[in-house]
Amino acid sequence: MAFIEKGQKKTYISTFRFDLKSSAALQTPLDPSKTKLTNGEESCLKSEKSETADTRKKSPKKSLDTEKRRQAAEVEFLDPQQQVVVGVGGTARLHCRFSSSGPVASCWIHDSEKVVLEGPRVCVMNTSSSSTLVLSEVLPVDAGSYSLFVRNREGTAHWSVSLFVIDPPDPPASCPFVSQLTCTSLVLSWSGPCFDGGSAITGYVVEIQRLDQSEPSDWTELSNQCQNTSFRVRSGLDPQGQYRFRVRACNAAGVSDPSEESDCIKMNTAGESQQEVTSYVEVVPDTTHKARDHYYVHEKLGVGKFGEVFRMTHKQTGRVCAGKFYRARVSREKTAARQEIKLMNELHHPKLVQCLAAYDTPSEIVMILEYIAGGELFERIVDENFEHTEPNSVNYMRQILEGIQYIHSKNIIHLDLKPENIVCVNGTGTLIKIIDFGLACRLEPGKRLMVLHGTPEFVAPEVVNYEAVDLATDMWSIGVICYILLSGESPFQGNTDAETLALVTGAQWEFDPESFDDITDEAKDFISGLLRKDKRTRLSCKKALAHPWIALSDDSNSKSTKSLNKDKIRRFLARQKWKKTGKALLALKRIIRCSKSDAPRSPLISVDANALGKEAELAVASLEKQLRSEPHFHQALHDLTESCGATVHLACTLQGYPDPEVVWLFDEAPLEKTGRVQMNYDKNGTCTLTLAQIQPGDSGIYKCCASNSLGQALCSARLTVQL
């Protein structure tokens, strides 16, 4: 129960209790699972663009033509990998192709720090246009960012590839719990694993074992593609049977070990009929007994902010109930629990869950509720056998309004209306009930009530703004529920809680044309009457019940009976579950890890060449030294014989770094550039001497002399000019 701040004072209470979902929940972490993985081998994504660093330095010495050569001499990465995903023990191949003229030197740096050296598990293969780093028997510590630094004559460029090392996930953190037990069906729900193995959970395998025969049967699979953390077992269950269940989590790397096994589950042969409340009781908490003195406690039905809810049966009558065991450790929690029980005593209406008994002893506070077997309304709606139409939705909204009208007539506000608190009475019918009055408050005449709790997607602007709340505050939430029910879209869902709350206070929303294509104008008018920022202008419960969309619903001619799209509701539910199972937390952790240096880094966050560790910086700097070489002729000059008047080209190819200076000699004297004599030195190191209109006097020995700080080289040829 909430700690309620009364009066005008705007003191923020310490029990700030927005249902916190991870702010990272909807940010998409770099998700290796999107990359298909086969047999533990790595896979990669290609980027569209290459990246070059801007760390070029001028060569210490240049020939006349060096400027021209430099323009075309940058390193350009070609279609490089962005990320590689590999299972633990697999082999990762990080491959980078590049174009560069002239010789190159390169090195790989891990996480900006460590120079990758060849070793028993590490192999680096370099060519003049590529470098491949092969890591075998990959370990989790190998994960991270690998940057290839490539140095050529003109400077250094680098490219970073992220290596994700993934493992199968941990098993689900809890055993599967059973709810909605009938004689032939049940619903299992469990918690996601504590560690997802470094790759998002892709689904669950649900397994069953039969126990009521002479020997327990083998475990068999009920489903190997369960997407959520709950699963409805509809068929194959014998009403006389006894079963046990367990679950495994899957990610791109494989399947986890099984979770702990559930308790032995006996099918509920008593059926569901006994759960209907026939008469309302005034509950006086029992302070001398414990709940277990009177009830058998069975499986967990749900976990909430205030404690855990278990299925129970009364020892004498056999009546099935739900027991809410409060987490009442400190006095504030105890007060809240007692307040909820007290409030429930006033709420006697067929659309509201009924309190049947309560236990309040120093060691526990337990509220016994009527057992509602049908599960969450939205879960029912997405069921394949269920027809989801606008008239059906009217039927649910009317029931919600009837229940809320009753509590509003008592001046009580629910303050936590959201889909998961609307549940179905049984597995087949269309009756619903409202549960969870844990945040409900009574309005005292003449007093302003301010609260700071609720669930961001469903709270009204006045809650977010910490302004006075009243009955209209629930009406806003009913508007949000109706919007989602008809479209599957959540009108104020942002990427983070902060964004959601900002969207709520802005009260800016619209009917997405695509999602509301098949929805009648009356329905839209109904929602528009509820989602109003000024709470004074919102429809009251009474007015909402009188709205034509609700009041004239029997006149089915005016309503579309077209089936509404369930996929978006499915996605909505999956997102809610995802938030609950703590996967959001995992994703958040991964993002935090990613922002640290010990973890996979998005290649989009490029390595800052100026922020390298000492060792890495030295390695990159030494690439320049590795490039150094004295001049060397790859192709020497050839002797030539040509006729007088012709144009000849004497060509040779040269390598060396720093760029050699080139001098041409004719009969030992340096040649000068003239209109007839041209010298060229291109980016590939080709030196060409062109002589136009040769004369007999041009006959002789031509030498090309190259020199740099490391040495010199020379090649020569004879030109013979024929008359």
List 322, 352, 366, 599, residue binding ligand ATP (CB under 6 A): 322
* Structure-token pair, residue 420: 């998961």
Give me the half-sphere count of Cα atoms (radius 13 Å) on the Cβ side of residue 543: 13
Binds ligand ATP (CB under 6 A): choice among 17, 62, 305, 543: 305
CB of 308 to Mg ion, least distance (A): 12
Q: Measuring CA to CA, which residue among 530, 412, 541 is closest to residue 477?
A: 530
Q: Specify the DSSP class assigned to residue 533.
A: S
* 74 is an interface residue for Mg ion by CB under 5 A: no
Q: Which of 377, 473, 472 is nearest to 427 (CA)?
A: 377
**Which of ligand ATP, Mg ion, none is residue 306 near (CB under 5 to 8 Å by kind)?**
ligand ATP
Per-residue mark of binding to ligand ATP, 411-430 (x: CB under 6 A): -----x---xx---------
Residue with tokens 């980016």: 683
Side-chain half-sphere of 147: how many Cα atoms within 13 Å? Answer: 31
Q: What are phi and psi of 633, to 5 degrees?
A: -90, 120
CA 246/CA 261 separation, integer angstroms: 5
Per-residue binding string, Mg ion, 295-314, x by CB under 5 A, is ---------x----------
Beta strands in 647-698 (DSSP E): 648-657, 661-666, 669-670, 677-681, 686-691
| Shortest Å distance, C-beta 598 to Mg ion | 39
Token pair in block for residue 449: 């009530």
Query: CA–CA separation, 544 vs 44, rounded Å?
Result: 55
As measured in angstroms, the least distance from the Cβ of 123 to ligand ATP is 53
- Distance CA(449)–CA(272), nearest Å, equals 40
> Nearer to Mg ion by C-beta: 436 or 497?
436
Q: Where are the alpha helices (DSSP H) in 596-670?
A: 614-627
Question: What's the rounded Cα separation, in Å, for the pair 708 and 252?
Answer: 55
Q: Interface with ligand ATP includes 302 (CB under 6 A)?
A: yes
CB under 6 A: which stretch of 301-309, 406-414, 511-519, 669-677 binds ligand ATP? 301-309
The CB-of-333 to ligand ATP minimum distance in angstroms stands at 11
Q: Is 582 in the site for ligand ATP (CB under 6 A)?
A: no
Return the number of the residue (62 or 580) whose C-beta is nearest ligand ATP.
Answer: 580
Tell me if residue 94 falls in helix, strand or coil: strand
Using rule CB under 6 A, residue 343 touches ligand ATP: no
Name, in order, each residue with C-beta under 8 angstroms of 667's C-beta and a sequence gap of 6 or more. 700, 701
DSSP labels, 368-400: EEE---S-BHHHHHTSTT---BHHHHHHHHHHH
- Identify what 371 binds: ligand ATP, Mg ion, none; CB under 5 to 8 Å per kind: ligand ATP
Among residues 272, 333, 436, 497, the one that binds ligand ATP under rule CB under 6 A: 436
Q: Is 436 in the site for Mg ion (CB under 5 A)?
A: yes
The span from the CA of 437 to the CA of 406, in Å, is 13
> 441 contacts which partner out of ligand ATP, Mg ion, none, CB within 5 to 8 A by kind?
none
> Is the separation of the CB atoms in 311 and 181 below 8 Å?
yes
Q: Within 13 Å and on the Cβ side, how many CA atoms surround 604? A: 6
Q: How far is the CB of 505 from Mg ion (least distance, A)?
A: 24
The rounded radius of gyration (Å) of the Cα atoms in the chain is 38
Nearest partner of 474 among 414, 555, 433, judged by Cα:
414
Least spacing, CB of residue 322 vs ligand ATP, in Å: 3
User: What does the DSSP assignment read for 453-498?
Assistant: EE-TTT--HHHHTT--B-HHHHHHHHHHHHHHHHHS--TT--SSHH
Nearest residue (CB) to Mg ion, 304 versus 494: 304
The smaller minimum CB distance to Mg ion, of residues 340 and 436, is found at 436
> How near is the Cβ of 438 to Mg ion at its closest, in Å?
7
Q: Interaction with ligand ATP in 618-647: which residues (CB under 6 A)?
A: none
Task: Give the interface size with ligand ATP as a residue count (CB under 6 A).
Answer: 20
Which is nearest to 501 in space by CA: 559, 459, 550? 459
Cα separation, 397 vs 648, whole angstroms: 94
Which of Mg ion, ligand ATP, none lies near 391, with the C-beta cut-off 5 to 8 A by kind? none
CB of 576 to Mg ion, least distance (A): 11
324 is in an annotated binding site: yes
Site for Mg ion in 405-434 (CB under 5 A): 421
**Alpha-carbon span 675 to 566, nearest angstrom:** 82
Which C-beta is closer to Mg ion: that of 114 or that of 575? 575
**Active-site residue set:** 416
Nearest position to ligand ATP, beta carbon? 304
CB 309 → Mg ion: shortest distance, Å?
Answer: 9
Query: Which of residues 340 and 624 has its CB atom nearest to ligand ATP in the complex?
Result: 340
Which string of x and - marks every residue 346-385 that binds ligand ATP (by CB under 6 A)? -------x---------------xxxx-------------
Q: Which residue lies nearer to ligand ATP by CB, 169 or 307?
A: 307
DSSP character at residue 298: E
| 51 and 77 Cβ atoms separated by less than 8 Å | yes
| N-to-C CA span, the chain | 113
Binding characters for ligand ATP, 249-288, by CB under 6 A (x = yes)? ----------------------------------------
Q: What's the angle, vertex CA 597, arms to CA 591 and CA 599, rounded to 5?
A: 55
Count of residues interacting with Mg ion (CB under 5 A): 3
- Does residue 435 interact with ligand ATP by CB under 6 A? yes
One-letter identity of residue 167: D
Residues 6 or more apart whose Cβ sits within 8 Å of residue 379:
230, 573
Q: Which is nearer to ligand ATP, 21 or 583 (CB)?
A: 21
Indicate which single residue of 159, 204, 306, 702 sits in contact with ligand ATP (rule: CB under 6 A). Answer: 306
302 binds, among Mg ion, ligand ATP, none (CB under 5 to 8 A by kind): ligand ATP
Q: Confirm or reject binding of residue 390 to Mg ion (CB under 5 A).
A: no
42 scored as a contact of Mg ion (CB under 5 A):
no
When asked if residue 301 is in the footprint of ligand ATP (CB under 6 A), the reply is yes
- Binding-site residues sit at 324
Contacts with Mg ion, residue ranges (CB under 5 A): 304, 421, 436
Contacts with ligand ATP, residue ranges (CB under 6 A): 301-302, 304-307, 309, 322, 324, 353, 369-372, 416, 420-421, 435-436, 438
- Binding-site residues for ATP sit at 324
